[in-house]
Amino acid sequence: MHTVLLGPPGAGKGTQAERLKVRLGLVHIAMGNLLREVVKKKTSLGEKARAFMEEGKLVPDSVILELLKNEIEFEKKGFILDGFPRNLSQARKLDELLDKEAEKLDLVINLEVKEAVLIERLKGRLICSECGRVYHKSNIDGPSKTCKDCGAPLLQRNDDNSDIIKKRIEVYLEHTHPLIDYYRKKGILRNVQGEGTSEEVFQRIMEKAVSYKL
């Protein structure tokens, strides 16, 4: 099963992809994590991506596709794509990559969340500097800001401030929102209400996944 999770920044794609990975036995390919990893390692691809990411802009397709191509060729199980595609050109390139592997995209889940909720989520988001686990300031007890899994410090991303958050949402609406029509026409799009608890959203997604399999 090859799945894409769509949704604006702060919609919860990463959290839900991790839960789906465990439940469905799929590989979670998080484009944001892949990009941050190459930036951290200061690879040539990472240096190209860094300036765009820090300004809240989309990383060029050439960089994204090179990273993704390696992942898809390596992973032979089904996958959940999180953070890709982000525009129509990338969606068509993804179709081409899968065609070469004699595969196809099976299901696209579109998480729908209001802008005010997205901004509130992202302004309070903290990310583990080592394992990448996501937290929210409102859910942390006491002054300690360390990861419960590995003990590493929790950090706030440079682009999780009000001005850049709004810019990222604008970029999403301009470039990524048209994908909804693209996948709807293919008959594989399922809209899911992305507000509520993580468990509530997960159950809604699973209902769509089960109905797809049927």
| Structural domains for the chain | 2-114+162-213 (3.40.50.300), 125-159 (no CATH)
Q: What span, in angstroms and rounded, lies between the C-alpha atoms of 153 and 130?
A: 8
- A 10 A CB-CB count for 205 gives 23
* 3-class secondary-structure state, position 178: helix
Return the half-sphere exposure (C-beta side, CA atoms, 13 A cut-off) of residue 81. Answer: 28
Q: What is the pLDDT of residue 74?
A: 63
* 3-class secondary-structure state, position 191: strand
Catalytic residues: 13, 86, 125, 157, 168
First-to-final CA distance of the chain: 13
Q: What is the pLDDT of residue 214?
A: 45
| Strand 125-128 relative to strand 134-136, pairing | antiparallel
pLDDT tens digits for range 153-197: 998 887 777 788 888 888 888 888 889 999 999 999 999 999 999
Q: Write out residues in the chain with pLDDT < 50, as ranges.
A: 214
Nearest residue to 54 (alpha-carbon basis) of 148, 168, 150, 139 = 168
Q: What is the pLDDT of residue 138?
A: 79
